[in-house]
Structure formats: structure tokens, C-alpha cells
Structure 1
Amino acid sequence: MDKIDRRMLQILQKNGRISISDLSKELALSRPSVSERLHRLQERGVIEEFSARISLKELGREILLIVQVSGLKVSPQEFETMVRQKEDIIECHRVTGHVSYFLKAAVSNMDRMRLLIDSLMPYATINTSTVLTSPVMYRYAIPQDNSFDN
């Protein structure tokens, strides 16, 4: 991965809908060259998908929760199967340490929060925190050093 690839990743993370033509102008490269680089980054799995970032607040899901899960009462596979079915859970991370999982959930009201917590309690010990603010909601990611340079 060279400087052009890293710059392409920056541009695409800011605007995933940018046209190949506009991207080629930004990078000062031909459209075929940009298309080839883009395709290569997708084949290598650097670019996993293109999607839209949605405002949870505008969807009426203003309460953001971080749920710590410890002391599982079921197998990790059973827990993960259950979590995948909960639409209020928007992220699930299995981690090391005394906490087994961190979940991120977005709910519309306190009743919905209670229902989610109640549904998780049979599976593990649950500790829930409500997010007050998010100073870093999302950060664009590019390689931090030149270890990927050709």
C-alpha cells in the first residue's frame, strides 16, 4: 500500500459515493488507474464494503448504551447467536479480560432499554452504561506507518 492508496482510503471514507472521475481528479491519476487500485484494495480485503452511516438520533434511537457482559451462563456460540437476533444491539465485541463482551446498543426509550437488559440477564452478568457524549464517534482509519509500502 503506497501513499496514493492511503490517500484514496481517506477520500473514500469521507465520501464513499465519490465518482471514479472525481476520485481520479483528487488523486491526479487516470480513471483506469484509479479503478484498478480500487479493485485491488477490495480484492485484498482492505475495503470490505461501501455503506451509509445513519444518524441513530434521526431514527429515534437516541439512547446509546455500552453493555459489559461477564460471567456467561451459556456457551459463547449460544450467546452470540442470541445477540445477532437483537436489532437494538448494533455492535458486539468478544474481548479478553474479566469482561467477556462489550455490546453497543441504541434504543428509543427507557422501556426499550429495560427490555433489552432484561433479555440479556438470563445469559450473563450485565453491567450497562448510558453514553452521555461521544467526542470521537467515528474516526477514519489508514495505515499508521510505512510498513505496507511497496
Structure 2
Amino acid sequence: MDQVDLALLKSLEHNARLSFAELADAQGMSKTPIWKRVKALEEAGVITGYEARLAPKAMGFGLSAFVEVVLDFESSDAFETAVARHPSIWRCHATTGDADYLLQLFARDMDDMDKLIRAEIARFPGVRRTSTTVVTRSIKENQSLAALAQTR
């Protein structure tokens, strides 16, 4: 991946609706080589898709939280299946440290969050303990991976 690829990726991260003509103009190139580069990045799995970013609050989700989950190791497959099927779990990561998993959730309000954690997630297979941290405000979101790659 060269600097042109990274510049293309940075542009697409910022606005995935840019046309090949706009991408080409920004790089001082013609559309065909830009199209070939983008297609190559897609085929290599660097670009995994294009999506609209939605604002949780505008969608009625006024609360965000991170939930650390400790579980019985032998239940990890069943737990991961339950997580994958649950629509309210935004993200899930297997982690090292005190917890086995870190979940990111969105809820409408505190009652909704409480129900989601105590009545649903805490009852997933193998869950021994959860610890919740509620987000009060977001400082940084949507960091550019292309910009990070340029610094490394």
C-alpha cells in the first residue's frame, strides 16, 4: 500500500460517496487508475464495505455504555452466539485482563439499559459477572485508520 492508496482510503473514510472522478481529481490522476486501485483495495480486504454513520441520539438512543463480561470459559462459544444474535449489542470484543469480553451497547434510557444488562446479557450462557461503565460524553470517534497507517 503506497501513499496514493492511503490518501484514497482517507478520502473514502471521510466521505464514502465520493465519485471516482472526485477521487481522481484529488489525486491528480484519471478515473481508470483510481478505479483499479479502489477495486484492488476491496479485493485485498482493506475496504470491507461502505456504510452510512447514524447518530445514536437522533435514532432515540440517549445512552451508551461499555459492559465488561466475565464468564465461564467453557461457555464462550454459546455466549458469542448469543451476542451475535442480540440486536442491542453494538460491538463485542474478546479481551485480556480482568474481563473476558467488552460489549458496547446503546439504549433508549437508564431503564432500557438496566433491562438489557440485568434481564438479558446477565442471563447469557456462562456469564458470571458484568461491570458497566456509562458514557457521559464522547471525546473522539471515527479516527481514520488511513491517517494512523500514514504515521506508522
Same structural fold, with TM-score higher than 0.5 when normalized by the shorter chain: yes
Pairing partner for 2:134 from 130, 136, 145: 130
Q: 1:109 to 1:145 in 2, by over 3 A?
A: closer
Q: Hey, what does 2:111 align to over in structure 1?
A: 111
Distance 1:103 1:75 in 2: 16
One-letter identity of the residue aligned with 1:37:
R
TM-score, normalising length from structure 1? 0.92
SS across alignment from 2:10:
helix
Q: Secondary structure at 2:52's aligned position in 1?
A: coil
Stretches of structure 2 lacking an aligned partner (at least 5 in a row):
none
Name structure 1 gaps, 5 residues minimum.
none
1:116-140 Cα offsets, whole Å, 9 max, x none, are: 1111223231101100111112201
Cα distance in structure 2, aligned partners of 1:104 and 1:110:
15
Moved over 2 A (4+): 71-74
The structure richer in helix per residue is 2
Indicate the RMSD between aligned Cα atoms, in angstroms.
1.4
- Greater shift, 25-34 or 73-82, is seen at 73-82
| Count of residues paired in the alignment | 146
The answer to whether the 8 Å contact 2:6/2:150 transfers is: no
> Which stretch shifts more, 11-20 or 132-141?
132-141
What is the rounded CA distance, in whole Å, between the counterparts of 1:91 and 1:62 in structure 2?
A: 17
